[in-house]
Chains A and B, each alone.
Chain A
Amino acid sequence: MQVKAKLYPKEAARLLREHPGVREAVTGATLHFEANRKRAYQEIDAEIWRERARRVKDHLLTHLDHYLELAEKRLQEKGVRVYWAEGPEEAHRILREIVARHGVKRAVKAKSMLTEELGVNPLLESLGVEVYETDLGEYLIQLLGEPPSHIVGPAIHLALSDIQRLFHGRFGTPLDASPEALAAVARKVLREAFLTADLGISGANFLVAETGTLALMENEGNIRLSTSLPRVHVAFVGIEKLLPRFADLALFLPLTARAATGQRLSTYVSLIQGPAKEGEEGPKEVHVVLVDHGRTTLLHDPEAWEVLRCLRCGACLNACPVYRQTGGHPYGYVYSGPIGAVLDPGLLGLEDTYPLPYASTLCGACYEACPVKIPIPKLLLTWRKRAVERGLAPTWERGAIQAFSKVMQSPSLYRFFSKALRGLPLPQDLLPLLKAWTEGRGPLRPSPKPFHQLWQELKE
């Protein structure tokens, strides 16, 4: 996927100005999800669940080589073909071969953020394969030609009226069609696709190393159909998505559901144990592509690796008041919101993602929501520190901070500045900052006398 993260500040401002409906849709949906998550956490001893999940993930990540080899072995024992892809190029080569070997004409896809990273849809289209995203939200944005704006709810930025207009143009449904009627139309199209597809593509929520089991969570049933009806199933799995033991699912499945949507468990959980055996129904071939795409580099980064615990539940997006104003599109990459701000620099490099770690007030709501306790505010600070060290910060900002620091180092300069604030012209370095402040908030109004002056009077 093309990376447009550098444009974040401009795109966020433009979206707020030109598409105020997005803010309304995203705020409404995320507040709803966030309230559900809070309720779902309150039903359990969330602190204990989160801490256990963190420990399991940290154990996995610190022994990842072992578990990856074990997973490969167990998968192969079940007749699954296992591939390793360092990035999009290798993933494309693997998929291209499978498509050619089976003469694939039509593919159905379960929602997967990793396949967005890898650009699987454009590849398949270039090979002449008809691709159907089968998650309802993902289907909508595929029709619109947009990237997902939320990890779990890819069409979270759309209002009902947007969808009514889209379906009116595409399928001739009335402009006031009910959500049920719209869903019924999509269902009809997608059913046909499920029944005629040669290839099913999915990601995975988890891959259990001990048993070689793929675990997939969903609410619509489209993942189960995508992975069971076509004769070939290809699953793309990020190497950090492993779990050591089958028993770990007992914690991670419900915890992920609670964090993502506030459900006790997702409506469907599919545990895939390999291709269909003689006399069984299901795909004749199952392929698992284990994908790195920057993850190993992150794993070796002592200040940033904790982000690899991520379960892709989207809870931090729902909790984030910054994300809520714009949704995910301005972030310019697959992963948006707080997790995107600390994952994207790790996967893509800070040079291409510079503004993202600044897309936060460091309010800490993301950390409270995170089911695996990723210290997102700490990671944001780390990436900001690196941005400054690497000279990526704008010149005005560097000048302003250095001027600020100089003033604050010296009580006499500070007192001079204090007087300047109450009458004299202000230092030039700070002027663009001042303008950015006053435009939306009116002029700064200092206290008539600063406290340090009042203190003198108080003493006397």
Chain B
Amino acid sequence: MRVALFVTCLADQFYAEAGMATVRLLRALGVEVDFPQEQTCCGQPAFNAGYWNEARSLARRTLGIFQEAEYVVLPSGSCASMVKNHYLELLPGDEEALRLSEKTYELSQFLVRVLGVTELGKGLQGKTIAYHHGCHALRELGVKEEPLLLLKNSGAEILPWEAAEECCGFGGLFSVKLPEVSLAMADRKISTLPKADALTSTDAGCLLHLTGRMGKQGRNMRVVPLATLLWEAYAG
């Protein structure tokens, strides 16, 4: 089996470790991994802000880059949903878009639903984890149990968190168009955050936003992409 990694521009720049972890984990599970070098951004920032022409040309570009791939895996729920769901709105009737949609997965979704892997190892034995459900993973992809299952089966304890399924306030351009509201939303997440060994999520944007805000408030907690934790689950 061969997977093309779409690392996403945010992870490429800010969570390169998530890309590394994804490659290592997939290889360890016997999957060949390609990384098409021309990839950049899926176009979501432009799409969500209403710039459909700009988004459409980035979508077309991405279609070309991953045309030959057997599967496309992203360490991001939001960008995966952009490719899987919103390309079809941007490019209605485009068969390539439909084919890409069908073979695109968020990492934990790919592991559980395609590879059928639910046990990675015991590398997270005794660790407590606060899991932030990224909105697009949760509500657009329906990815909810997959990451939790993989984490729990590796010995981690997911701590109850009343705001776990609430939006963190990142929202892409929202975070700078309405910064006060965005920060108030982060504060609500952080004020309810349980004391855990790590805070994790599928999405780099949420983590960047929450880490920055927690740092500003002097709150120290390890904040780490899901891919990194899944690799730790495997490698110990």
- What residues of chain A have their CB less than 8 Å away from a CB belonging to chain B? 9, 12-13, 16-17, 23, 27, 321-322, 324-326, 357-365, 367-368, 378, 381, 384-389, 393, 397-398, 401-402, 404-405, 407-409, 411, 414, 418, 421, 433, 436-442, 444-455, 458
Contacts and interface: CB of A to CB of B under 8 A. Distances in A.
A368 B171 contact: no
Nearest to A413: B40
Contacts of A360: 171, 174
A387 B14 contact: no
Given A322-B185, A449-B16, A450-B13, A361 B174 contact: yes
Contacts of A458: 20, 23
A398 B178 CA distance: 16
Contacts of B41: 404, 408
Given A363-B139, A436-B175, 14 more contacts: A12-B180, A27-B188, A321-B188, A359-B181, A364-B135, A408-B9, A409-B58, A409-B61, A438-B212, A441-B183, A446-B14, A447-B14, A447-B17, A451-B18
Interface stretch (B48-56, B113-121, B145-153): B48-56
B19 A454 contact: yes
A455 B166 contact: no
B12 interface: yes
Q: Counting chain A CB atoms within 10 Å of each CB, which of B9, B47, B89, B180 scores highest?
A: B180
A364 B14 contact: no
A13 B45 contact: no
Contacts of B172: 361
Contact of A321 (B7, B12, B167, B215): B167
A393 to B, nearest CB: 7
A451 B179 CA distance: 28
B40 A361 contact: no
A324 B13 CA distance: 32
Given A16-B184, A437-B176, A441-B216, A447 B47 contact: no
Interface string B26-41: 0000000001011111
Contacts of A17: 180
Q: Counting chain A CB atoms within 10 Å of each CB, which of B49, B54, B186 scores highest?
A: B49
Interface in B149-192: 166-167, 169-186, 188
Nearest to B174: A361
Given A361-B169, A436-B179, A401 B49 contact: yes
Contacts of B23: 455, 458
Contacts of A404: 41, 45-46, 54
Contacts of B49: 384, 388, 393, 397, 401
Contacts of B216: 440-442
Interface of A: prevailing SS: helix
Given A321-B185, A449-B16, A451-B12, A405 B139 contact: no
B213 interface: yes
Interface residues of B, number: 65
B51 A16 contact: no
Contacts of A437: 175-176, 179, 212
A363 B171 contact: yes
30 contacts: A12-B181, A13-B180, A16-B180, A23-B184, A321-B166, A322-B167, A322-B185, A361-B167, A361-B182, A364-B138, A368-B139, A387-B50, A388-B49, A401-B45, A401-B54, A404-B41, A404-B54, A405-B51, A411-B38, A433-B176, A436-B177, A440-B186, A440-B213, A440-B216, A441-B183, A441-B208, A442-B215, A448-B16, A452-B37, A458-B23
Interface of B: 7, 9, 11-20, 23, 35, 37-41, 43, 45-52, 54, 57-58, 61, 89, 135-136, 138-140, 166-167, 169-186, 188, 208-209, 212-213, 215-216
Contacts of A438: 212
B178 A9 contact: yes
* Top 3 A-B pairs, shortest CB-CB distance: A441-B212, A361-B171, A384-B50
B185 A325 contact: yes
A136 to B, nearest CB: 28
A454 B135 contact: no
B15 A447 contact: yes
Contacts of B9: 408, 414
A389 B14 CA distance: 32
A437 B169 CA distance: 12
A342 to B, nearest CB: 14
Contacts, number: 188
A257 to B, nearest CB: 24
Contact of A325 (B135, B138, B184): B184
Contact of B178 (A12, A386, A414): A12
Nearest to A364: B139
Contacts of B58: 405, 408-409
A440 B170 CA distance: 12
A358 B57 contact: no
B181 A16 contact: yes
Given A16-B180, A16-B184, A451-B11, A441 B209 contact: yes
A433 B45 CA distance: 13
A27 B162 CA distance: 13
A92 B48 CA distance: 40
Q: Counting chain B CB atoms within 10 Å of each CB, which of A384, A393, A440, A448 scores highest?
A: A440
A440 B213 CA distance: 6
B5 to A, nearest CB: 8
A401 B46 contact: yes
A324 B40 CA distance: 35
Contacts of B136: 362, 364
A9 B139 contact: no
A53 B173 CA distance: 34
B164 to A, nearest CB: 13
Given A322-B185, A358-B177, A405-B51, A414 B40 contact: yes
Contact of A450 (B12, B54, B181, B212): B12
